[in-house]
Structure 1
Amino acid sequence: MLTVSKSPLRVSFFGGGTDYPDYFKQFPGAVLGTAIDKFIYTIMLPMSGASQTNYRITYRKVEEVDRISDIQHNVIRSVLTEYKYNDPMNIAIISDLPGNSGLGSSSSFTVGFIKLISHLQGRSITKLDLMRAAVHIEADVLQENVGIQDQTHSAFGGLNLYRFQGNDFSIQPIRMTTDSRDALNASLCLVYTGIERSASATVEEQVKKTREKKVHKELTHLYDLCEHGVQVLEGNDPDRMLTELGRLLDDGWQTKRSLSSAISTPRIDEIYDTAKSLGAFGGKLCGAGGGGFMLFLAPKHAQQKMLETFGQKHFVKIATEDSGAAIVRDFA
């Protein structure tokens, strides 16, 4: 029986950086963002008894091994070990968009794979426990430099304000009118910089500065922008919502650029300035920085210009996604 899980990628509007334990263990943290309609798909087929190996894993490379301990893919090896699942299997990972691009793909895969293994074990895992399990694998088992927004967005789905402080965690769904939601979805788009990078490595300088409280003022401002963003999104005037949200995104991007020298590059600055000159309301770089995708709010006429300027391979239309990680279906 073939089993498929899908887990959404995400974009955050405000608060990125305050979701790292080095920050929210001392100060209130928050992230305002949304899961998007682009996914990581994890496909599992039981390995045939006639197969020469117990595990075949296909992603950027192909692994064929007999023992879980020999699996090179860190998340797959760690999850199978943690959950004591050792049935021979053929696993394939497919993504709508490139990895290492600031959309939380690594954590989205972790969430989706835990969802899949839990399903195969006959367990219906809650969204909260799914998020916590993914954070545990990445932060505790693999000792990676990760925040907790990526796992949260992918597990829960939807457009939400997440608050983190100490061991406390809360979710506030954004209450939008249909007209405002539709206007937001019509305006959301991505531009790919063409640069892939490791989030864990890129964020190293920022985490160091966070521990030393050298960027406390900037992170506090990004935290405060979350509350302003909620007020804007929950307004009743869609046009005003877009222009105000764009202005706040621009404010947040200028602040984020100051967190680390690794966040922006001349190429990233050029893309941002070009998009603004073409009529985008505002935008920001997604993820830790250094490359990946840039998020923009832009009216339809500006999006057409952006498509023509950046090219079809670099321009991606997106919308919000409400469901979070799920088992698509079992195929007999």
Structure 2
Amino acid sequence: MIVRSRAPLRLGLAGGGTDVSPFCDLHGGYVMNVTIDKYAYATIDDNGSDSVEFHAQDADVSQCMAPDEVDLAAGPLQLMKGVYRRISEDYLSGARPAIRIRSSSDAPPGSGLGSSSTMVVALVTAFAEYFGLALGEYEIAHLACRIERGDLALSGGKQDQYAAAFGGFNFMEFYEAERVVVNPLRIKEWIWSELEASIVLYFTGVSRSSAKIIDEQARNVRHGQSDSVDAMHRLKSEAVQMKEALLRGDFKRLAAVMQAGWVAKKQMAASITNPMIDELEALAFDNGARAAKVSGAGGGGFMMFLCDPAERVRLVRALSTAGGSVYNTHFTSHGASAWKSG
């Protein structure tokens, strides 16, 4: 039996960072995001031996070992190994099956589109299908968070896992004790289309480690650094405003909220922006952009710009001269899915 799965990557529209502990535990966090037609993929099948095989196809790294030798060492195979061990312990009574696991993604690690967390969701979804586990969206996302933040001790928030599991436009609430509430939004078709036409997604060509940025952000909250904490409260408020602007189709307010959110986000940690990002932002505003932000933790990866659709071509041409790549993208309404093949 062969099982395949895919889970969509996401764009953070507002509130990103308020889903990270300890802020969300102390104050509650709000995030507004949407999934896009870029995916993380996983395949599981019987490898015909008594070993377990891991293959991270993007990195072209593979390893074959005895099931009881699977470790959690850092590297391209860590996410797959983490999912394998947690599923084995929690759902297979400790039995470690002899299988082959392969993964790939439409976006590189450090892109800011939630690629690592989305990969964990794709892997958990594939395991659930392969072993017949009755896991809903909340269970899949919670398990993915537990693996990343607990078992693997990787820094980060929770929005990526829930976005990948649920799909579509979602307003998310994050509270202490790992309580999460996902509110799917019914976006009118014309608003959906207008926003798609207004967004320009640009890859800077520079991947970055989100962990250092997130760790700096968390330290600022723990130490009560007022500028950082106040900025996060503004981001939380702007997530609510973004939700309202989307539901009403108020694009002038939407652009203003996105830009205000980016200004606030830059105050959360010094490493969120840099001269390259500042120059790209200035170039974009000189060529029709109404709002700009870095997707994800910051520091590099993908940038997102909002413009009048009539100015899109001019903006794309300008950005294409800056050394990165413009990506065409569309929103998706569905979250992670899995199916049997053969």
Q: TM-score range by the shorter chain?
A: over 0.9
Q: Which residue of 2 aligns with 1:139?
A: 149
Count of aligned positions: 325
**Residues in 1 aligned to 2:331 and 2:224: alpha-carbon distance in whole angstroms:** 34
Q: Residue 212 of structure 1 is aligned with which of 220, 223, 230? A: 223
Cα distance in 2 for partners of 1:207, 1:56 equals: 33
Q: Report the CA distance between 1:54 and its aligned residue.
A: 3.8
TM-score, normalised via structure 1 length: 0.92
Q: Which residue of 1 aligns with 2:241?
A: 228
Counterpart residue number, 1:78: 82
Once residues 56 and 227 of structure 1 are traced to their aligned partners in structure 2, the CA distance between those partners, rounded to angstroms, is 41
1:57 to 55, 72, 77: 55
How many Å apart are 1:261 and its aligned residue? 1.1
Query: Which residue pairs with 1:315 in the alignment?
Result: 326
How do 1:1-332 and structure 2 match up within 5 A?
1-49=1-49, 54-59=52-57, 60-68=59-67, 69-70=69-70, 73-84=77-88, 86-167=96-177, 168-214=179-225, 215-235=228-248, 238=249, 241-311=250-320, 314-327=325-338, 329-332=339-342
Paired residue secondary structure (2:187): coil
Deviations 1:208-263 (A, max 9, x none): 0011121221111000101111111111xx4xx22221111111111111111110
- Deviations 1:178-214 (CA, angstroms, capped at 9, x unpaired): 2112111222221111111121122221110011121
Q: Which runs of 5+ in 2 are unaligned?
A: 89-94
Q: Which sits farther off after the overlay, 171-180 or 109-118? A: 171-180
8 Å contact from structure 1 (residues 46, 87) kept in 2: no
TM-align CA RMSD: 1.9
Deviations 1:95-139 (A, max 9, x none): 222221111000000011011111111113100000100010011
Aligned partners of 2:216 and 2:21: how far apart in 1? 15
How has the CA–CA distance of structure 1 residues 290 and 106 changed in structure 2, closer, same or farther, with 3 Å as cutoff? Answer: same
Q: Distance in 1 between matches of 2:214 and 2:230?
A: 18
Runs of 4+ in structure 1 over 6 Å off = none
Equivalent position amino acid for 2:247 in 1: E
Mapped partners of 1:2, 1:115: distance in 2:
13
Instruction: Report the 3-state secondary structure (helix = DSSP H, G, I; strand = E; otherwise coil) of the residue aligned with 1:179.
Output: helix
Partner of 2:91: none
Deviations 1:243-298, CA, capped at 9 Å, x for gaps: 22111111111111111111001111111111122112212101111110011222
Letter in 2 for 1:78: G
In the TM superposition, what is the alpha-carbon distance from 1:15 to its structure 2 partner?
A: 1.0
SS at match of 1:13: strand
2:3 aligned counterpart, secondary structure: strand
SS of equivalent residue, structure 1 residue 83: helix
SS of residue in 1 equivalent to 2:180: strand
Where structure 1 has 5 or more consecutive residues not aligned to the other structure, the ranges are: none
Identity of aligned residues (%): 26
1:218/1:259 contact within 8 Å kept: yes
Deviation at 1:177, TM superposition (A): 2.0
